[in-house]
Amino acid sequence: MSEPIVQARDLWLEYGGARSVRALRGLTLAVEAGTFVGIMGPSGSGKSSLLYALAGLRRPTRGSVAFQGAAWPERIAHGSDRRRSSLGFVFQEPFLVAHWTVGENIAVQQTKPNAARIQALAASLGIERLLDEVPDRLSAGERQRASIARALVNDPMLVLADEPTSCLDTDSGRNAMSVLAAARRKAALVVCSHDARMLSGADIRYRLEDGTLSRDD
Amino acid sequence: MRLRNPLRPWVFLARRPGRALPTAFVIASVTLLLVVVITPGNTFRSTLDANLAALDVFTVVSPARRAGFEPALRDLLDRNRFAERWVPVKALWVRYPAIIGEGSCPLLLARPEEARAVLDRLGMKLVAGRHASGPEPVLVLHEDVARARGIGIGSRVGTLVDPDDIIPGSFEVVGLVRGPARVAVGIVGAGVLASMLHGRLPTYALIYPRPGLKEKSDAYLHAARDGTAPAFQIIDAAYARTRAERALKNLPLLVRFLSIATACIVSLVVMLLTLLSFQSRLPQFAILLAIGQRRGRLLRSVTLELSMLAVGSWLLGASVALAGLAVYDVVALQPRGILIHVWDPGAIAASATIPVFVILAGLAVLWRGMAHVDPVSIIQQRLP
Ligand SMILES: Nc1ncnc2c1ncn2[C@@H]1O[C@H](COP(=O)(O)OP(=O)(O)OP(=O)(O)O)[C@@H](O)[C@H]1O
Ligand SMILES: [Mg+2]
């Protein structure tokens, strides 16, 4: 068995404040290269929290996350770990920088500039005409597809996607999923969704409930 | 699609000029203010330099312990190997109003051909009237001094026309000269007044040094002894300058204080503006950090952007200030014979503290902001 790309051990994530919430409770997960892991769960079950923790954007209250064999540094969000460039994240809300074109929003993520790669990826997602547009003039679904392209464009080792089809209709949702699934040729892929149909192509499916994972076969 | 790095620093400035405008406006207008306030201060030094320029070209001495240039003193002057020649002159000062108080430039009275020679040696050009000659006491004056005193060709100066004057008798202005040295030359003439003037005016010797040897010639004159005491009193540019500089010593204090105080206040204002503009862009930086952009790369881009904005606005403010000063100089100062240097490197350098402070203050805000931003909490607030 090969070394997992990302591995969570006994992961606890607790939110403090007025209402203390235990979003993750002792969760364990390992994802290897070439694997597509689908995670289903109702709203508020902790899907986003899990992905943030896997990406090192949220520090676990207990337990650990290792990416490519090593734990994330404490202040990962402040952007000095080089491994971050081999991680692609599709956020639940498709944020794009407003004064950049769609093409620039995707290109910023490339370590080596490669226009052909951007064009091919945009074409596969059906947004090749929009590369010179500014995000304000895009529909939510188009923005979502642009953010998928941004996550994939640098050929990352790990792709984390949080409801990547929430703004898409069934057909373009399936298409987006197939583009994401294709990334598994080089990477490990974790997709969260509450729509089971979108995870039909997953190699392994989990259900997230009460902050823990269970196989969903 | 053209593939270009969107983190090029001018992208934001070019596409969102409205956001950069308040900062640019503050920097440019305060730079303008500072340059316009500091530059006219150089009138003191500029006027002093123009008044003493003649004494940088030749030296004026008087006998230290005798009534006139007796043979022993003449002999000392003749033996000065570093001097071309020397000429007996009468010397005085012409007083004229400056921006504050009065300035005074040398007045040299000599034979007509020597009066001309003085002007030639100083590189002065006659721009109106004629050179000094004839039987009457007349003089030729630097045009700026004439303007400052509000006199022209045909006017008369001297105690006979104005009891407050320090020039005895009455001299008619017959010519105006233009050039680097503020100076007046004249002749005593041969009339009735001449003998009175000869009696009342102290005698000096004008020493023309050989090219490049003025310092050595001056050293010789300082060292010359009449018995055991110095033979000559030397009307020395260095002495005059030292005295005047002592009087102006505290001016830089004020200028420096003004520029630092202004720069501090502007930096605070710009720091606030940067803070506001940064806060409105925080979600954007948060997203970029969250998708794995390196903080150093973002900071470099924003730093360059801020530097371009600060330096550009400063250049704009300084250029407008220089243009304004140039106009004011022509319209208001020159007609009053007031000398300023519109291009004042000191004022420009002082105003350069503004962009430097702004960049440092802006950077402090940006570094702090970026060190404390939590991308996920911003993403969760769903701010675009
Ligand atoms: N910053 C936070 N502070 C406090 N509680 C939080 C915070 N973020 C999330 N939570 C809580 O943690 C739990 C899990 O939230 P999370 O966003 O991970 O759910 P989710 O499965 O992604 O939901 P959805 O499908 O609606 O996006 C929720 O109960 C939520 O209220
Ligand atoms: Mg979520």
Question: Do the strands B102-109 and B184-187 form a parallel or antiparallel pair, or are they unpaired?
Answer: parallel
At A26, is the secondary structure helix, strand, or coil? strand
Nearest CB neighbour to A99, from listed B15, B292, B376:
B15
Residue B384 has pLDDT above 50, yes or no: no
The interface pTM score, or ipTM, of the predicted complex is 0.87
Quick: pLDDT tens for A126-159: 999 999 999 999 999 999 999 999 999 999 999 9
Residue A16 CA, chain-centre distance (Å), reads: 25
Question: How confident is the model at residue B315, as a pLDDT?
Answer: 97
Q: Answer for the pair B3, A113: CB distance below 8 angstroms, yes or no.
A: yes
Instruction: Name B234's bridge partners.
Output: B61
Q: Answer for the pair B209, B164: CB distance below 8 angstroms, yes or no.
A: no
- Residue B313 sits at φ, ψ, to 5 deg, of -65, -35
Q: What percent of chain B has pLDDT over 90?
A: 33
Residue A70 CA, chain-centre distance (Å), reads: 19
Average pLDDT of the segment spanning B172-179: 94
Query: Which residues of A fall within a CB distance of 8 Å from B373?
Result: 77-78
Q: Answer for the pair A102, A96: CB distance below 8 angstroms, yes or no.
A: yes
Query: Which residues of A fall within a CB distance of 8 Å from B15?
Result: 99
- Residue B39: partners with Cβ closer than 8 Å, 6 or more residues away: B321, B325, B340, B341, B342, B344, B347
Question: Nearest CA to A178 among A205, A144, A148, A153?
Answer: A148
- List, in sequence order, the alpha helices (H) in B201-294: 214-223, 237-248, 251-290
Residue B130 has pLDDT above 80, yes or no: yes
Question: How confident is the model at residue B9, as a pLDDT?
Answer: 87
Quick: pLDDT tens for B317-330: 999 999 999 999 99
Computed on alpha carbons and rounded to an integer, the radius of gyration of chain A in Å comes to 17
- Closest-CA distance, B305 to chain A, in angstroms, reads 14
Q: Considering only B125-129, B197-201, B202-206, which range has the smallest mean pLDDT?
A: B197-201
Residue A173 has pLDDT above 60, yes or no: yes
Chain A 108-167, CB below 8 Å of chain B: which residues? Answer: 108-109, 113-115, 118-119, 131-132, 150-151
What tokens were used for B204? 């000096």
Quick: pLDDT tens for B151-165: 999 999 888 888 888
Average pLDDT of the segment spanning A193-217: 89
- Residue A53 sits at φ, ψ, to 5 deg, of -65, -40
Residue B200 has pLDDT above 90, yes or no: no
- For chain B, what is the mean pLDDT? 86
Q: Identify the DSSP state of A183.
A: G
Residues A41, A44, A46: CA angle, nearest 5 degrees: 70
Question: Nearest CA to B207 among B172, B174, B231?
Answer: B231
A70 Cβ under 8 Å from any chain B Cβ:
no
Residue B279: pLDDT band (50, 70, 90) is: confident
* Burial tier of B80 (Cβ tally within 10 Å: 0-12, 13-18, 19+): buried
What residue has token string 């294709």? A182
Average pLDDT of the segment spanning B339-365: 87
Quick: pLDDT tens for A160-169: 999 999 999 9
HSE (side-chain half, CA atoms, 13 Å) at A206: 22
Q: Answer for the pair B121, B113: CB distance below 8 angstroms, yes or no.
A: no
Closest residue on chain A to B5 (Cα): A108
Question: How confident is the model at residue B320, as a pLDDT?
Answer: 97
Q: Answer for the pair A149, A161: CB distance below 8 angstroms, yes or no.
A: no
Residue B1: pLDDT band (50, 70, 90) is: low
Question: Nearest CA to B200 among B146, B158, B233?
Answer: B158
- For chain A, what is the mean pLDDT? 90
At B125, is the secondary structure helix, strand, or coil? strand
